[in-house]
Amino acid sequence: MECAWIDEEWIEDLIWCPSQCYRRIRCDGKIYTLYLRWRWEDPWEFRIAEGDMVSQRGPYIIDLRTGKAGRLIGIDKEGKPILEEIKWEFITDDLFSKYSYYFRDLEYKEAEKQAEQLFLRWVKQELSDP
């Protein structure tokens, strides 16, 4: 299996809450997005999305419980969000939680490095198993 980073470095969006970081990688022709998220309280969360989260810009409404997300394109007359279907989806739960990694808000650089290592371990296991 061959993997190559699309982004030379992490795309860091640390101004807003939630703070988010993205890094895309292509493995055997398929694009994955490594997604880090921190919201008001520790720790950082790490999920893997199949598809390109960066090319279809938000704002997004994401239900992390179900993994479903949509791009907000407006609000209807009842005040409910109008969502556009997105072309990516989360394919893992929070891997930091699963493997007992804990990174506080200012430890995002360490979280990025660990996310890369976990992704390479995950992709090797997931895509190598029949």
At residue 66, the pLDDT reads: 61
Which two tokens mark 15? 């101004």
Which two tokens mark 105? 């808000």
pLDDT in tens, 43-77: 999 999 999 998 877 677 776 656 667 888 888 89
Res. 1: pLDDT tops 80: no
Res. 128: pLDDT tops 90: no
Which two tokens mark 51? 């598809």
Q: Which helix (H) or strand (E) holds 72?
A: strand 68-75
pLDDT in tens, 75-115: 889 887 777 888 888 999 999 999 999 999 889 999 999 99
